[in-house]
Every structure is written in structure tokens, then in C-alpha cells.
Amino acid sequence: MARVLRVEYEGAIYHVTMRGNNRRDLFCDDADRGRFVTRLAERVDLYNIRLYLFCLMRSHAHLVLETPEANLSRFMHNLQTAYVNYFNLRHEQSGHLTEHRFGARLVQGDEYILKLSRYVHLNPVFTERLKHLALKERRKILRKYRWSSYRSYAGLVKELEFVDYGPVVAMMAGRRRAEKRREYRRFVEAGIARTDQEFADCLKASRLAIGSEAFCNWVRDRHFDLVMGQKRKEDASFRRTGHPLRAEEIETVVCRELRVDVKVLQEQRRDSFVRPVAARMLVKYGGLTQREVADRLGVTSGAAVSHQMKRLSGGLAADPELHRRVTRIESVLGQKKKQSASALER
């Protein structure tokens, strides 16, 4: 089957779906779900993704997110690879866990994001097993469901650090945050008893987009342009896709802030965080894959790079000075990236 070209651009908003291959379970238990959420949080930060909401079901997962740097495919490839490797190792399996590629439909804007958030958050109470229960019971189940962002949106638990609540909550009535959350809870839970048929029809209208007819036609035309252009890349974009920094520039900043010579990047030191920090910055600000980082730093494999970055996460939590220096590095590189983008736009 030919792979669908992705329409990617800076600031694009997507409804992303991952499904188990041949309808098999994507998550067998809460340990699997917990590991996926951890990996998701790490990569939201690493790839500068704005994650608006998520919901994990047994055989599939929903994400609604924005890509300020037009990097949906790199983000999802890394997330899926990390989770599939974990799943196969833990469950002693091999082969494909997910169905083909992930699904991704562009979302038009506020009205559609809000209605989509209700659709995604209601997934746990629209399963075949639960849809015949009384309204009160389904509402109770929804409020207790741990594996989505709904409870934190509804003010039932504290907010998750890796979820961006602002755009959705801002659309709700009320002056204070608590009032907006109560209003959102009413908005979502009203959908248990009453189906939004207009939005349901909208979801069926296009396999590429969620929005007005004009927006869906616009996305269709951009996709047609890609196909007719016979792009050979797995994914392509019709607008500029971010402004990665040069690897040499990133390495210079890392070594300067960590007060080491650049030559150290090629040395294996058991207790050093220099290479893990460099790896993180090369992925996040240079747009390199973990395999490319491994080649550049002389590490054995992309998996080894992933392991180093995980080790760095633990180091940052335990060492305030390391955390301060890494924060400084990200600030400097973030500013350089903005300057690079401004220069290209002039």
C-alpha cells in the first residue's frame, strides 16, 4: 500500500491516531499505558510539540497536537519506535505492533478543536461494553478514567506538565480558571447523552482534515500538489519546515556552557553527561535523528543515544547544577533558533 504523503507546516494542528496491528491490543495493562505516557511526555518536550489532549484506549490512542516546527513525522516516528521496542521486549514479541503508519488529520481551528476534544475525551464511555449503561454510570466511569487528559481538564486532578490546556480552556465561559474547567466538564459530559451529529458528519467528510468544507478542500489541494509533484520522501511539506541549527553550532554552545573541550564529545566517559546533553540538543535544535546523532558522536547505535538521553533525565532531576546548565543551553539555542528563523524570513 502506498504511503500517504503528510501535509506538514509550522503551526499545523493534527488529530493523530495510533492503532494496534490487526486490531490487536496496543496496551495490555496499566504498566504499558504508563510507559507510553512517560515516553509521550519526554518527546513532547524534545520535539517542541504542543500537546493539547490525549486518550489511550486498549487497541488505539488519540493525540491532538500542534507542531510549531512542522515535525510531526519525526516526533511520531520516535514515539512509536520507543514504545514498540519497549512493548515487544516486555511481552517477548516481535514484528509490527501498530497498524501501518499513524493516522493524522489536519484540524482547522478553535471550534473544531473544542468539539474534537469532546469526541476524544468521550472515547472511554463509548465502547461497545459501556454504551448501554445508564448516563450516571457512564459519567462516573469517565471521571475516573486515568488514561486521558480529561480529568485534568475537568479540574478533577492537577494539570499535567506536558499538556497545553490554554487554547481549549480559553474557549470556555467564566472569568476564573476553576469556572472554565467546570464549564468544560459540563460541555464534555453533555455529549454522553446527546450526539453532536453535525460534528460526527464532519469527521466522516474527509480522511485528510477536520474542518469546514473550504478548509478540507484546501488541504485536499495541498495534498494533491504533493502527489502530483511526485515527492520521493516519506513525508513532504508545502511550507518551510522549521529552522534547525548547524550541528557544529550546537556542539560549541554545549561544550562552552559545560566548560569542556569539543573533543570530549567523542570520548566515552561513564559518569559524564556531556554526550547525553549534546545528543538531546542535536535532536531538539538540530533536527537530527538518533541514528545521525550516534554517527556524529561515535555512539554505537540510535538505541544507545536514546538510553543516554533517558539517563540525562534522571541526572537533571538529581543534580540542580546540571539542570541549571542545561536550562541555560536550551535558552541560548532557543534564542539562536529564533534569530535564524527571523533572518530567513527577511
Helix (H, G, I), strand (E, B) or coil at 171: coil
Residue 26 grid cell: 496496543
Mean pLDDT of 324-331: 90
Mean pLDDT of 94-121: 89
Distance CA 18, CA 330 (A): 31
280 and 312 fall within a common domain: yes
pLDDT digits (tens, 9 = 90+) for 252-293: 999 999 999 888 888 877 778 899 999 999 988 888 888 888
CATH number at residue 170: 3.30.70.1290
219 and 280 fall within a common domain: no
The pLDDT of residue 342: 64
Distance CA 275, CA 279 (A): 6
- Asked whether residue 242 is domain-assigned, the answer is no
Residue 1 grid cell: 500500500
Mean pLDDT of 293-297: 89
Q: How many domains is the chain partitioned into structurally?
A: 2
Distance between start and end Cα atoms, the chain: 42
pLDDT digits (tens, 9 = 90+) for 191-224: 998 888 888 889 989 999 999 999 998 898 888 7
- Supply the range of the domain harboring residue 26: 7-224
Strands, E assignment, 73-232: 103-107, 209-210
What's the chain's average pLDDT?
87
Distance CA 10, CA 71 (A): 8
- Asked whether residue 238 is domain-assigned, the answer is no
Residue 297 grid cell: 558522536
pTM: 0.80
260 and 178 fall within a common domain: no
**CA nearest neighbour of 59 among 27, 31, 104, 84:** 27
38 and 117 fall within a common domain: yes
252 and 216 fall within a common domain: no
The model's confidence at residue 238, banded by pLDDT at 50, 70 and 90, is very low
Q: For cell 501535509, what's the residue?
A: 7
CATH number at residue 313: 1.10.1750.10
- Asked whether residue 273 is domain-assigned, the answer is yes
